[in-house]
A = this chain, B = another copy of it.
Amino acid sequence: MKVELISFTPEPEKLVATAARLCYSSRGVSEILADMDPEEMKKLINLLLSMGHESPLEHITFTFAIEGVSRVLSHQLVRHRIASYSQKSQRYVDEGNFSYIVPPSISGKEKALNRYHECMATLQKAYDELCELVPREDARYLLPNACETKLVCTFNARSLFNFFSLRCCNRAQWEIRGLALEMRAKVREVAPIIFNHAGPSCETEGVCHEGSYSCGRAPNN
């Protein structure tokens, strides 16, 4: 998996604090922007987020390039609807010699791994043969979930909070959890005050909502 933060709103924390301040001020925006010092910004953001006032977070967006992930992952990812996606098309792009993701549980067991590689080789061969007989967009019905895909996606910070609360959880499926942790690490580098508040409820509130499925890291609420 390769995750890069390829673009984001400049000075993201300053913008969030400015937008939040505007709601409760009679001053103009340029004045608020000019006067926003780092200390006030930090206090304001921490206050906002401790009270769950997340709407100013929507003003800042983060664009990620994601490669080396499976279509298991992409199918889950695009279920997050408050986000924008551009994904490599299996309909138009040839998958001759496709790459594929190997789950750690499989790579850790020789017997499973051999069977897996063998299967992928069979599929690759069958895909190439079918491409001779039928349109590529139909040959791809053979391709496995494991098939590597690439995406560019853009989330605003509020939607990222939701994403991290669900997908950084120990109960999330391992591949998308790995992605979520990577994405969170990247945005913490550029907006640490904000994203230190982001994560599953065991980290942010000290309680778990997973009921009897809990990993036990925090007590159930």
Contact = CB atoms under 8 A, between A and B. Distances in A.
Contacts of A71: 75, 145
Contacts of A61: 9, 61, 154, 156
Contacts of A129: 115
Contact of A23 (B25, B58, B88): B88
Contacts of A141: 70, 72, 100-103, 106, 116, 144-146
B67 A59 contact: no
A205 interface: yes
B105 A84 contact: no
Contacts of A47: 211
A154 B58 contact: yes
B142 A143 contact: no
Interface residues of A, number: 95
Interface of A: 2, 4, 6-11, 15, 18-20, 22-26, 28-30, 33, 47, 50-52, 55-56, 58-59, 61, 63, 65, 67, 70-72, 74-75, 78-79, 81-82, 84-94, 100-103, 105-106, 109, 111-112, 115-116, 118-119, 122-123, 126, 129-130, 133-135, 137-138, 140-146, 150-152, 154, 156, 173, 205, 209-211, 213, 221
25 contacts: A2-B28, A4-B29, A6-B15, A7-B11, A7-B59, A9-B9, A10-B10, A23-B88, A24-B92, A50-B211, A51-B213, A58-B84, A72-B90, A74-B75, A78-B79, A91-B173, A100-B141, A103-B141, A105-B135, A109-B133, A116-B142, A137-B173, A142-B144, A154-B156, A205-B221
